[in-house]
Structure 1
Amino acid sequence: MKLTVFAATGGIGRLLVDQALDAGHDVTAVVRNPARLTRDVHAVTADLTAPDPEALRGAVEGADGVLSAFGPTSRAQAGITSEGTRAIVEAMQATGARRIVVVSAAPVSTTPSPGRPNPPKHDPGEGPLMRYVGAPMGKLFLGKHFADLALMEDILRESGLDWTSVRPPRLTDKPLSTTYRTAVDRNLRNGALASRADVAHFMLRCLDDPGTVKQAIGIAS
């Protein structure tokens, strides 16, 4: 497949590029600094915090799948993901590209947004520790980030594209296991961690799985 990877030098993006190339896909990497790429791929220079529509259209035109690991690298950058994703969506709509898989986060399942103002108060996959300690603490420190991811999911739902939002809990740098668990529209019981390698692996799997289209999917080790 012809794939476009956004944020291709980040923690998950780099693994998406590696795994896609190893599987024989044709990869276009969209990055702010192509010098940081560690694999020989076609690169498009673009900054999703100040998007260039023409560059983004060129990056996604003809793509069989678009994968986005775009997100903030600090709490101060909370708010950038939804606008960056909006720019990707508009480029895809302009060029006819259809399939997009993005990284979200587990707490978004219970985070309200304009398009989803009344989410469940508690995720059905949460155990007591996560429900009463982990989730409230996470939202206390990263609430703005989760609200922005919830808005990103609104943008995808309204886009008309064939989207999937992957919602991992806390990310680790453990190696690929392929034994991770997933669940549609809920988080995983006792699922406090997920490796970036497993998230990348699942995102690539989603491209060939029609059952993941227009779904938010929890993932955990």
Structure 2
Amino acid sequence: MRLTIVAATGGIGRHLVEQAVAGGHDVTAVARRPRELPGGVRTVAVDLTRPDMRALAAAVRGADAVLSALGPRNPRADAGITSRGTRAIVAAMQAEQVRRIVIVSAAPVGPVPVPGRPTPPRHDPGDGFFMRYLGVPLTRAMFGRHYADLAVTEQTLRDSGLEWTVSRPPKLTDKPLTGRYRTAWNRNIRGGFSVSRADVAHHMLAMVNRPDTIEQVVGIAN
């Protein structure tokens, strides 16, 4: 498949590129500093905080799917980057008639209200007592602006008319790829407190060719 991977030098993005190349896919990697990427992939330099729409359109042109690992390096300081960048990606895909996109979000996002979804459930149905009353309130107190931006990002996809899938992992780790993880549609994973970036990348790639994941939010955890 021809895959365009956005934020290809980030924690999940690097794994996406590595695994996609190992799987024999034709990869175009989009990054602010693509020189940091290994050889063997086509690279396009795009700063998603101030996207060059011509370059972004060229990067997605002819792709079978786009995978976005876009997110802030500092969730407290850089909130807003993901929604702005995703709007640019969606616009480029619409202009180039590319339909399939898989993005990474985060487990605490489900109950965050947005204009298109002003009254979400109070709690994610997959969260147990600890996460509902301790874990989620704590993480939102620390990174509330970031999660609000991810909620807007997800709404952008819902409104896009594209064939989208959202991956919602909990705490990300740098443990190695296992290929063993739990998933659930439209809910978080009960007792799932972490997952490796490598396993998130593995699952994002696996979902590209799964029609049953289109217009679905998928929780993932070890």
TM-score (norm 2): 0.98
Task: String of CA shifts for 1:96-154, please: whole Å, max 9, x gaps.
Answer: 00000000000111111111111110111111111111000000010000000000011
Report the RMSD for the aligned CA atoms in angstroms: 0.7
Tell me the residue number matched to 1:12.
12
Distance 1:55 1:190 in 2: 42
Distance 1:139 1:38 in 2: 36
Conserved in 2, the CA contact under 8 Å of 1:78 and 1:145? Answer: yes
Tell me the residue number matched to 1:214.
215
Distance 1:38 1:58 in 2: 20
Tell me the residue number matched to 2:25.
25
Kindly provide the amino acid, as one letter, of the partner of residue 163 in structure 2: D
Secondary structure of residue in 2 paired with 1:35: helix
Q: 1:39: how far off?
A: 3.6
Distance 2:127 2:141 in 1: 17
Secondary structure of residue in 2 paired with 1:29: strand
Tell me the residue number matched to 2:72.
72
Kindly provide the amino acid, as one letter, of the partner of residue 85 in structure 1: T
Instruction: After the TM superposition, list the runs of 4 or more consecutive aligned residues in structure 1 that deviate by more than 6 angstroms.
Output: none
Secondary structure of residue in 1 paired with 2:123: coil
Secondary structure of residue in 1 paired with 2:30: strand
Distance 1:196 1:21 in 2: 17
Count of matched residue positions in the alignment of Structure 1 and Structure 2: 221
Q: How does 1:35-46 map to 2 (within 5 A)?
A: 35-46=35-46
Distance 1:38 1:182 in 2: 30
Secondary structure of residue in 2 paired with 1:217: strand
Q: How does 1:123-138 map to 2 (within 5 A)?
A: 123-138=124-139
Gaps of 5+ in 1: none
Kindly provide the amino acid, as one letter, of the partner of residue 73 in structure 1: R
Tell me the residue number matched to 2:91.
90
Distance 2:151 2:116 in 1: 9
Distance 1:19 1:168 in 2: 18
Distance 1:41 1:5 in 2: 10
Kindly provide the amino acid, as one letter, of the partner of residue 68 in structure 2: S
Distance 1:185 1:39 in 2: 37
Q: 1:38: how far off?
A: 2.4
Distance 1:26 1:40 in 2: 9
Distance 1:178 1:58 in 2: 32
Identity of aligned residues (%): 61
